Amino acid sequence: MRIEDEIKQKSFANEYTKAHINILFTASWLSSGAAKELKDLGISGHQFNILRILRGMYPNPGSIKELTERMIDKSSNASRLVDKLITKNLVIKAKCNEDNRRAEVIISNEGLSLLEVASEKIDRFTESFSANLTEVEATTLNILLDKLRG
C-alpha cells in the first residue's frame, strides 16, 4: 500500500520528505511485526538483537561496549537489556579476568535454544512479505538504503 494511503496524506513537501516518512513508517511496521512474533517468547526486539550479537560472538564473550557498538538501535541501553536477559537466564555476565572494570557477557544454552526458535519466527515473518519484492528488488533496496546513510 502506498504511504499516502497508509497515513492518509495527499501530498508531501517533496520526494525526500516522502522518502523520510516512508522509511520511518516502514521501520515501525517491521518492528511491530517482529515484536508480535517475539511476544509469546517473552523477549523484545532489542533483546533479540543482543542475543543474535552474542550468538555471533559465541563461544567468546562480548563486553557491553561491543554490544552497544553492534546494536541496530544505538540509543538502546545495552546494560539494562543484558540485566533483563540475565534475569531470564538467557545470558551470563561475569567480570573480565584481565580487567575488573569490564564485564563479559556470553549467551547461555537457554539463550541459544530460545534464539533458535525466535530466529525461525522472524524468518517466517520476513518470508511473509518477501513475496512483495523480488530478490533483485531487495538487493536494490539494500544498495539504496546503504547509499542513503552515506
pLDDT in tens, 23-68: 999 999 999 999 999 999 999 999 999 999 999 999 999 999 999 9
> Which set of grid coordinates corresponds to residue 57?
560472538
Residue 20 domain flag = no
Q: How many residues does the chain have?
A: 150
Q: What Å distances lie between residue 33 and 13, 123, 124, 126, 142, CA to CA?
A: 29, 12, 11, 9, 20
Q: How confident is the model at residue 74 (pLDDT cuts 50, 70, 90)?
A: confident
- pLDDT digit string (tens) for 101-147? 678 999 999 999 999 999 999 999 999 888 899 999 999 999 999 99
Residue 14 domain flag = no
> Do 116 and 51 touch, CB atoms closer than 8 A?
no
Residue 102 domain flag = yes
pLDDT at residue 100, rounded to an integer: 66
Q: Which H or E run contains 103?
A: strand 103-107
Q: Flag whether the pTM goes above 0.95.
A: no
Residue 11 domain flag = no
Residue 39 to residue 47: CA distance in whole angstroms: 11
pLDDT at residue 129, rounded to an integer: 82
Residue 3 domain flag = no
Residue 70 domain flag = yes
Supply φ then ψ for residue 51, to 5 degrees. -60, -40
Domain count, the chain: 1
Answer whether residue 3 shows pLDDT above 80. Answer: yes
Average pLDDT value for residue range 65-92: 94
Q: What CATH number is given to the structural domain containing 62?
A: 1.10.10.10
Q: How confident is the model at residue 75 (pLDDT cuts 50, 70, 90)?
A: confident
Residue 82 domain flag = yes
pLDDT at residue 63, rounded to an integer: 93
Domain containing 76 equals: 42-148
Residue 22 domain flag = no
pLDDT at residue 25, rounded to an integer: 97
